[in-house]
């Protein structure tokens, strides 16, 4: 309802969308039909994909973590690196076109594999939220960790984004769980228990459903957290769960344990080496190793509800594209080609 009232106000007042804050632009989306997302992006590297993303005309851009590579314990360097990213011409153009939401992972939280011991995590949170143009009075600025949620749309076209923080509390022995921390876990359970959205996008910097792979991080490395996530989803069965993740420097779309994950990674750099790529492909058959971004389209007119997930790169035709339909059990099924 709020988004509709805001949209009506904008039309009546004759206000251009570019004059709104990032938060107001998110609130003004009445029905989300397409958005793009990606991760693993360095302002020290070339970023050639923004012009292709802009051509998609997304209603929303979602950062999936490792949005910059500050690689430091110096808060001032983190701030400067975000400023570098904000001055990338293609990204500036995308920000003028679409609102931004997102999470972080280790390389923008601090340094490689950074966890709860990161000495600058409080300052890092401030710089991240500034980068996301979070309102100054946002509860997200007062809590520990960057987790939050967004409801977009209403009724039968409502979607929910649940954005997790898998760094701030990671490996903290004082917490009952060593990924999200107990307070975030209780918050997350309320989010899925009370959600009336048709699609629930759960966003995590680390892959949630991945297999154990040498020299990488994934949720299953922390088995209690992995089992707890699966148990909560089984208990509350929220409609149309899709995990959106990053981190691994390649992209894949896969269904495991009855849940769907779209991993988009490698905006500015990707996994190199034929042997490594061959090894990874054994676990992820639908994988793409070039620079890429993810595109999600929602077909609200489809009966049953359908989504189209595409891994995209420098060319209009996607590297991989799959269409899933929502079954009566609130789970996604791959739609077979006609």
- Residue in 159, 133, 144 with CA at minimum distance from that of residue 32: 159
Structure-token pair, residue 94: 């995308």
Structure-token pair, residue 187: 């918050």
- Residue in 227, 113, 217 with CA at minimum distance from that of residue 177: 227
CATH topology of domain 31-334: Purple Acid Phosphatase; chain A, domain 2 (3.60.21)
Residues 6+ apart with CB under 8 A from 115: 167, 170, 171, 172
What's the pTM value of the predicted model, to 2 decimals? 0.93
The model's pLDDT over 181-236, given as tens digits with 9 standing for 90+, comes to: 999 999 999 999 999 999 999 999 999 999 887 778 999 999 999 999 999 999 99
The mean pLDDT of 31-38, rounded to a whole number, is: 98
- pLDDT of 319 higher than 70: yes
- pLDDT of 5 higher than 70: no
Domain boundaries of the chain, sorted by first residue: 31-334
- pLDDT of 34 higher than 50: yes
- pLDDT of 325 higher than 50: yes
């Amino acid at each position: 309802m709020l988004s509709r009232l805001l949209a009506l106000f904008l039309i009546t007042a004759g206000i251009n969308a570019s004059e709104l804050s990032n938060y107001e632009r998110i609130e003004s989306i009445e029905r989300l039909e397409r958005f793009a997302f990606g991760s693993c992006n360095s302002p020290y590297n070339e970023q050639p994909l923004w012009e292709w993303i802009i051509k998609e005309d997304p209603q929303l851009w979602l950062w999936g973590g490792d949005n910059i590579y500050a690689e430091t314990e110096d808060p001032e360097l983190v701030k400067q690196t975000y400023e570098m990213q904000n001055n990338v011409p293609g990204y500036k153009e995308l920000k003028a076109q679409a609102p931004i939401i997102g999470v972080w992972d280790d390389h923008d939280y601090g340094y490689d594999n950074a966890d709860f011991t990161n000495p600058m995590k409080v300052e890092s949170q401030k710089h991240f939220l500034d980068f996301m143009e979070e309102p100054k009075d946002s509860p997200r600025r007062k809590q520990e960790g960057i987790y939050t949620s967004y409801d977009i749309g209403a009724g039968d076209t409502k979607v929910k984004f649940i954005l997790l923080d898998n760094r701030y509390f990671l490996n903290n022995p004082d917490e009952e769980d060593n990924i999200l921390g107990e307070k975030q876990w209780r918050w997350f359970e309320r989010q899925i228990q009370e959600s009336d959205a048709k699609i629930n996008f759960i966003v995590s910097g680390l892959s949630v459903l991945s297999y154990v792979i040498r020299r990488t991080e994934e949720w299953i490395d922390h088995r209690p957290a992995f089992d707890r996530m699966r148990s909560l989803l089984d208990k509350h069965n929220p409609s149309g769960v899709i995990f959106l993740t990053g981190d691994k420097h390649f992209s894949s779309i896969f269904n495991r344990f009855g849940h769907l994950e779209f991993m988009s990674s490698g905006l500015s750099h990707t996994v190199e080496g034929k042997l490594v790529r061959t090894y990874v492909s054994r676990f992820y058959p639908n994988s793409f190793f070039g620079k890429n971004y993810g595109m999600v389209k929602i077909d609200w007119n489809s009966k049953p509800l359908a989504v189209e997930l595409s891994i995209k790169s420098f060319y209009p035709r996607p590297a991989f594209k799959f269409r899933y339909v929502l079954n009566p059990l609130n789970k996604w099924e791959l739609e077979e080609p006609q």
